[in-house]
Amino acid sequence: MKKRICLLLFILLLCGCSKVEKKVLPKEEKKEETVSEVEVYNDLNNTPISFYQLKGNSLTKISNLSGSYNALDDIGIFQIYPSNEEKITLNSSFASSFYEEYSKYKERLNIKIGFSIDFSLDTGEEISYFILTPENPMDHWEYLMGYLYDDYINQGKGFYSHIEMSDYSDTTLFTALKLQCGAYIDKIKSPIHLTVFTYDSEDDFLDGKYRGNSSSTITICLNNNC
């Protein structure tokens, strides 16, 4: 009897050892490929825009300016006009001519006028900023001070001041920009690049730079820093 039991146990053990376990392999995970969207920027705004000097009823385009300046000296008043022509003879007042010409583009494209200023200090630091509202011209007042004017709304006035933020609205027009030397103007050791441009949305700016098609830049050389 004991022999039979031992024999049965031996057979059971033998069968258990010979049994092959089936390993469950992990399912192959499919890698999802992510397709990154490429931004496509296409600026349809080709509005001509430039800086001009106004004398009487004549506009002369400005490309560069140079001279010796001290703290608080006026660098100049730069008229804005929607054109790239070198000389323009106006048939009416500057304000009326500006409004008539600018409206041709604004009504179609809903554009605004802005500015950018770039220069380097004697420390090597590079300064770059936009002027989009009456608050911005004083962003770096210690080096340069700026004042924006709206000639159209002030037609007929013999004297009028620059635009204050309290007076600014969507109907305000930037027809002129005045630049004045700040207290530390002597710290600027590179040419000043002053740009006027038109824009219609935030898409016209990338990495702190204007990237649209509608712009014009002048170079200002202070105290032989060019």
- Exposure string for 39-55, b = 16+ CB within 10 A, e = fewer: eeeeeebebebbbbebe
Tokens of 172: 């305000």
Q: Which helix (H) or strand (E) holds 109?
A: helix 94-109
Q: What is the pLDDT of residues 113-168, one digit of tens each?
A: 999 999 999 999 999 999 999 999 999 999 999 999 999 999 988 889 999 999 99
- Strands 205-206, 126-131: pairing is unpaired
160-191, pLDDT tens digit by residue?
A: 999 999 999 989 999 999 999 999 999 999 99
Closest by CA to 119, choosing from 203, 198, 197, 219, is 219
For 66, the token pair is 């140079």
Give the model confidence (pLDDT) of 26-55 as tens digits. 555 555 655 556 678 899 899 999 999 999
Q: Which residues sit opposite 129 in a β-bridge?
A: 117
pLDDT digits (tens, 9 = 90+) for 70-101: 999 999 999 999 999 999 999 999 999 999 99
- Please enumerate in sequence order all residues whose Cβ is within 8 A of that of 166, keeping only pairs 6 or more positions apart, or say none: none
Under 8 Å CB-to-CB from 87, ≥6 apart: which residues? 58, 59, 60, 61
**Which H or E run includes 103?**
helix 94-109
**pLDDT > 70 fraction of the chain, expressed in percent and rounded:** 83
Contact of 184 with 125, CB cutoff 8 Å: no
- pTM (2 decimals)? 0.81
pLDDT at 223 over 80: yes
